[in-house]
Structure 1
């Protein structure tokens, strides 16, 4: 039996009418020789009655620092509610369906509450369900550790569930249904001539997601890539085929077509960042100061990014929400950083830029032409990113999109 995994986001499941559309998609996909496995997110978005953030806020109104274990238990409720409703709606339409929690679906994780990683998947219940011609509807974003405790997989965890099941079941494709038609060259709310990408590689979508594009979770891409299972990012509200994520495509005559890595695939951004600058000349105890800085931040649970260590200065960024805490941690060890608030990271992503001269020059040219100071920069073999002030972020994204002619 061929298997297709379909994941539906919260905006696709928010109302009865929207779930009817989801049922139509599932019904159109399911055939005698095609089994469909459905993964669901919690219904709606922040502020909606059954959204994950609503459940979190309910607990935090009582206790601002709840136990991670209890928080996972209530966060898992959203997907259970949406999954039971969708399975019931499918059954009412005459499509046999059965709901499974993450535990019942065989998703086994480590014990890191709130951001657990999947250790393995035992899909026997899902396979038995498919053999009976039943559509399994699985709660995304959740699993169980080896001690039987409910865990959640972090933001975007439903994508991760879908990818893990796709790999475990050797699926033909994993469809990620959302409220946009696919992956764009830039955020269309900022860049009016942003274009839909028909095909991208795993590496490119992973970098776009890590640098701020929110269409799919990078962890899901990494899981699917391990077994070369194609992903499709599609809209629930459109019949467009969306964006295919793969490295090869099978042709009509049993040929294999390589998907070319684009020089620049897209431009993305992340906002709400603070830049920390530590002047080494002001550090009194210089013995092992680098380790002391980053170990202290790690022990405080503060994630750092965009790290540059030079003989005279250390630069790094943290999320705005952790700025005050990071300052306190550093001052407690006798280090007084300079902090630049309200920054944003803009990035150009393309898996073929390695070894191509002039890419960084174009980035600098685009920003300098628009009088945008670069506070910090970095690169890898698939992207170049620059730190700018938040007030310059949208102009920077537009300038880079135009400079690399991504709208043509």
Structure 2
């Protein structure tokens, strides 16, 4: 049995017209003899009646709910979405069944709001596939060993789809969105951003972690571990989108591209702390950030101090914590992290020179930089972020 997993995001299910497009994709793959598992998100986005954020904001009551009960409310959007799609399929003569994450065999820990998948029993879904049904699984959720609903955090439906695909040994996982695959940059910032035909697991993981919002990095990591191809494609067209595999080969690889794409993360604050004779300063700083639940990024540590970033919304709290420890931190607010991602950069001389050249030509100051084998990051001021993304996109000829 050839199994295909499809995942549909909220915008793909928000209207009757969109759901008809979903129906067309399902019928096409059934005609190709695939056994289908369809993972769905809640319909729409904040403000739409059944979107997860809308449900959680009902009368403000959710703010007083314990984590267990908040998850119980949060899963309702996917359950509604799955049943609406099931009704459409059955009205068109397509045999289908709805299963919650727990019914589909997804077992998690009890970390409400950010649960981790511990194991998946593929048998419940396989039994339904063997009966010729399209199995519609509610994304973003699982079940703890205590029988409670749990949610997997932001991007959880992507994680559900790839985890189920891995457990079922699917031939491919198709992630349907409202864009035509993975682009070389955010099209809202770069008008000539181009869709990528193919990309590696490592590249898309880096793009996703550095701000590209097409697919969640946890989902890519699961697919990579199982070596299952992913395809990111649009619900609203019949295009092939972007294929994500371990070792992709395409025309863009043949011309030996250095960079694959440019990503960005806005609204971050750079914090610097000098040791000034304080013993174990670095240890104290990062332990205190962890203790207070403040996420840190872009970290540079030297014997004389520490330099790192936090989200703007956490900046005041971080500075207060540091002050109570007796330090005098400095902060540069309103920054953005811009990343050049591409496996082809590894070991190639002159890549950083090209980045500095591109930004210098536009009068953009680099506040901080770091690199890995597939990514180079620069920190710039927020007001220069768009210019930086465009300059780097042009310098690496990603529009060609």
TM-score scaled to structure 2, two decimals?
0.96
SS of the equivalent of 1:162 reads: helix
SS of the equivalent of 2:219 reads: helix
Partner of 1:124: 123
TM-fit CA distance, 1:182: 0.5
TM-fit CA distance, 1:31: 3.8
Partner of 1:254: none
TM-fit CA distance, 1:46: 1.5
Cα distance in 2 for residues equivalent to 1:328 and 1:147: 39
Asked if 1:368 corresponds to 2:360, the answer is: yes
Cα distance in 2 for residues equivalent to 1:346 and 1:297: 23
TM-fit CA distance, 1:63: 5.9
TM-fit CA distance, 1:332: 2.3
Asked if 1:267 corresponds to 2:259, the answer is: no
User: Per-residue displacement from partner, 1:60-117 (whole Å, max 9, x unpaired)?
Assistant: x236454222221111111111011111111111101100111101111122221111
Please say which of residues 240-249 and 190-199 is displaced more in the overlay: 240-249
Aligned pair in 2 of structure 1 residues 249, 207: CA closer, same or farther (>3 Å)?
closer
Partner of 1:142: 141
TM-fit CA distance, 1:51: 0.9
Question: Aligned ranges for residues 199-348 of structure 1 at < 5 Å?
Answer: 199-248=198-247, 262-281=257-276, 286-348=278-340
Asked if 1:75 corresponds to 2:74, the answer is: yes
TM-fit CA distance, 1:250: 10
TM-fit CA distance, 1:124: 1.1
Question: Which among 348, 351, 373 is matched to residue 356 of structure 1?
Answer: 348
TM-fit CA distance, 1:248: 4.3
Aligned pair in 2 of structure 1 residues 324, 65: CA closer, same or farther (>3 Å)?
farther
Partner of 1:172: 171
Cα distance in 1 for residues equivalent to 2:253 and 2:153: 31
Aligned pair in 2 of structure 1 residues 103, 200: CA closer, same or farther (>3 Å)?
same
Partner of 2:34: 34
SS of the equivalent of 1:90 reads: helix
Cα distance in 2 for residues equivalent to 1:110 and 1:56: 22
Cα distance in 2 for residues equivalent to 1:258 and 1:111: 44
Q: Is the 8 A contact 1:247 1:258 kept in 2?
A: no
Partner of 1:159: 158
Cα distance in 1 for residues equivalent to 2:204 and 2:177: 16
Partner of 1:377: 369
What number of residue pairs does the alignment pair up?
Answer: 399
Partner of 1:19: 19
Q: Is the 8 A contact 1:247 1:259 kept in 2?
A: no
SS of the equivalent of 2:183 reads: coil
Please say which of residues 50-59 and 370-379 is displaced more in the overlay: 50-59
Q: Is the 8 A contact 1:307 1:317 kept in 2?
A: yes
> Gapped runs of 5+ residues in structure 1?
252-256
RMSD: 1.9
Aligned pair in 2 of structure 1 residues 219, 26: CA closer, same or farther (>3 Å)?
same
Cα distance in 2 for residues equivalent to 1:355 and 1:191: 28
Q: Is the 8 A contact 2:45 2:51 kept in 1?
A: yes
TM-fit CA distance, 1:9: 0.4
User: Per-residue displacement from partner, 1:167-219 (whole Å, max 9, x unpaired)?
Assistant: 11111110000000001111111111111100001111111111011011111
Q: Is the 8 A contact 2:106 2:117 kept in 1?
A: yes
Cα distance in 1 for residues equivalent to 2:70 and 2:23: 31
SS of the equivalent of 1:406 reads: coil
Aligned pair in 2 of structure 1 residues 93, 62: CA closer, same or farther (>3 Å)?
same
Q: Is the 8 A contact 1:246 1:259 kept in 2?
A: no
Cα distance in 1 for residues equivalent to 2:287 and 2:312: 20
